[in-house]
């Protein structure tokens, strides 16, 4: 698997470690007595916060394949974190990758707080108490700060946070070369639906397109051959 997902997972771990080390302004009443808090990268999709009672350790695991999955428009919709952004209007419903990844950190961090504070009940994890914590992480501006940190770190490491879409079968390069420039209004088809948006970056073979819907906006990386000018 590309190193990219490993690098992004490491960025999420670093940000989580910083959160853990901060004095917890938002949750002053939580005692972290003799308990170690840490984060790690998992090799699969599983992403979770686990309490090892014997070792007195809470560990947040970010699965590398979870990150890969969030780059796929087909797969991302199956994640609870994606649905939470829409249902609870976090980031005003923006499900672009920086928001998705920042919300993933918040989701796990909220589990950590939930477990540390003893509000965790077996069989009832995503309960109203949990969502109070999660809402507070967003309302306080912490989620936004995490998003900005992720964007800054990814830019520093040249990692593009843009959803992948696979071209449908493009048989031959028979099309006449089409030139696009930034700010062009264009459209493309994906899953029987036509999306239109604005070109924000022109690469050699692909375009980065910003698509704006009623409640959210997202960025797409689309092969030029699949894009047409919309008039
Ligand atoms: Zn959860």
Q: Is 172 in the same domain as 102?
A: no
62: left (phi over 0), alpha (psi -120 to 50) or beta: beta
Output the CA 107–ligand 1 centroid distance in Å: 6
129 and 151 assigned to the same domain: yes
**How high is the pLDDT of residue 32?**
65
Q: How far is the CA of 8 from the centre of ligand 1 (A)?
A: 20
Distance CA 195, CA 164 (A): 15
Q: What is the span of the domain harbouring residue 196?
A: 168-229
Note the pLDDT tens digit of each residue in 47-57: 999 988 888 88
Domain stops at, among 98, 125, 156: 156
User: How many angstroms is it from 13 CA to the middle of ligand 1?
Assistant: 17
The span from the CA of 122 to the CA of 157, in Å, is 40
CA of 199 to the centre of ligand 1 (A): 35
- Virtual torsion, Cα 101, 107, 111, 117, nearest 10 deg: 110
Same domain flag for 16 and 104: yes
Interval between CA 161 and ligand 1 midpoint (Å): 23
Q: Classify 76 as helix, strand or coil.
A: helix
Summarize pLDDT for 108-145 with one digit per residue, the tens. Answer: 999 998 888 776 666 678 988 899 999 999 999 999 99
Helix axes of 142-156 and 97-116: crossing angle, nearest 10 degrees: 130
Any residues with CB less than 8 A from the CB of 91 and at least 6 apart, and which? 85, 99, 102, 103, 138, 143, 144, 147
* pTM recorded for the entire structure: 0.74
Instruction: Print pLDDT tens along the chain (231 aa).
Output: 558 999 999 999 999 999 887 766 555 556 666 678 889 999 999 999 998 888 888 899 999 999 999 999 888 888 999 999 999 999 999 999 999 999 999 999 999 988 887 766 666 789 888 999 999 999 999 999 999 999 999 999 999 998 877 655 544 444 445 678 888 888 888 887 888 899 999 888 889 999 887 777 888 999 888 888 776
Same domain, 85 and 182: no
């Amino acid at each position: 698997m590309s190193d990219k997902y490993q690098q992004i997972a490491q960025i999420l771990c670093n940000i989580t470690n910083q959160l853990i080390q901060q004095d917890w302004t938002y949750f002053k009443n939580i005692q972290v007595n003799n308990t170690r808090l840490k984060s790690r990268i998992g090799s699969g999709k599983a992403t979770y916060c686990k309490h090892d009672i014997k070792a007195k350790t809470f560990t947040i695991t970010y699965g590398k394949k979870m990150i890969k999955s969030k780059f796929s428009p087909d797969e991302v919709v199956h994640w609870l974190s994606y649905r939470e952004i829409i249902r609870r209007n976090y980031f005003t419903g923006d499900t672009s990758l920086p928001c998705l990844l920042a919300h993933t950190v918040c989701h796990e961090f909220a589990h950590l707080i939930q477990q540390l504070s003893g509000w965790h009940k077996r069989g009832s994890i995503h309960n109203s108490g949990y969502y109070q914590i999660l809402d507070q992480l967003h309302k306080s501006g912490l989620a936004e700060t995490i998003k900005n940190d992720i964007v800054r770190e990814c830019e520093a490491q040249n990692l593009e946070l843009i959803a992948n879409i696979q071209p449908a079968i493009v048989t031959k390069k028979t099309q006449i070369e089409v030139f696009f420039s930034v700010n062009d209004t264009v459209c493309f088809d994906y899953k029987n639906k036509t999306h239109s948006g604005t070109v924000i970056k022109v690469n050699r073979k692909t375009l980065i397109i910003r698509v704006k819907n009623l409640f959210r906006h997202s960025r797409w990386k689309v092969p030029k051959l699949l894009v047409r000018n919309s008039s």
